Structure 1
Amino acid sequence: MDRQRIDKWLWHARVVRTRADAAALVAAGHVRINGRRVDAPGRVVRPGDVLTVALDRAVRVLKVVAFAERRGSADDARVLSETLEPARSPERVRGEEA
């Protein structure tokens, strides 16, 4: 497999709890692929793509490393991505801009 839908990958990588949550996150414009905002849950990601995901309490920057056929354990999910930056809270990000 050389590509996968963004909503499915976010769910398999355990960034969100459900695939519906992943689709809603993308549709709301809270996900960027290689710096470009995406709003279509069907958009595909490929190995090497860098995702910026704005969650409720943190911004995560992840590099897509692999794909999964199904959602597995947390250990299985760890091999799907590489964290490029530590998670930061929105308050900390706002504080750095000042």
Structure 2
Amino acid sequence: MSEAAEKLRADKWLWQARFFKTRSLSAKLITGSHLRVNSDKVVKASATVKVGDVLTFPQGNHIRVIQIDGIGTRRGPAIEAQALYTDLSPPQPRDIGKPYAERGGRPSKADRKLGAQIKRGELE
């Protein structure tokens, strides 16, 4: 029984570690050949993962590289889930853009009216 507790299906582990909201979303990622376990592509959601494996998969706009530190018994709170892995991904640069203050702020209603009058040729 201890050997069975040391391994878990990849889709279930990704769901328990809270990388995906549902287990079917994690299974869809795996069946789409977007998961690598120790640099080997995985195409079946039933593939097993164990402690020490390194998972690589896309999430949002960046690639996640995760090392498995533990196999959970349930999908618990976020703090419990974060204890199951170590994030090996490099920090992603933030692309926030310029705030309104740096661009001169949002145009007021008067500014918009003035711009519309200039477009129409009413003002020169």
| TM-score (ref. length: structure 1) | 0.85
Q: Distance in 2 between matches of 1:57 and 1:88?
A: 10
User: Which amino acid is the alignment partner of residue 6 of structure 2?
Assistant: D
Between the two proteins, what is the percent identity of the paired residues?
36
* 1:34-49 equivalences in 2 (<5 Å): 34-49=38-53
Q: How many residue pairs end up in the alignment?
A: 89
Higher RCO structure, 1 or 2 (CA under 8 Å, sep 6+): 1
- After TM superposition, which residue ranges in structure 1, 4 or more long, deviate above 6 angstroms? none
Partner residue, 1:95: none
Larger radius of gyration, structure 1 or 2? Answer: 2
Q: Aligned to 1:59, which of 58, 63, 66?
A: 63
Q: Distance in 2 between matches of 1:4 and 1:67?
A: 7
Asked if 1:73 corresponds to 2:70, the answer is: no
Unaligned segments of structure 2, at least 5 residues: 94-124
Unaligned segments of structure 1, at least 5 residues: 90-98
RMSD between aligned residues: 1.3
User: Which amino acid is the alignment partner of residue 24 of structure 1?
Assistant: K
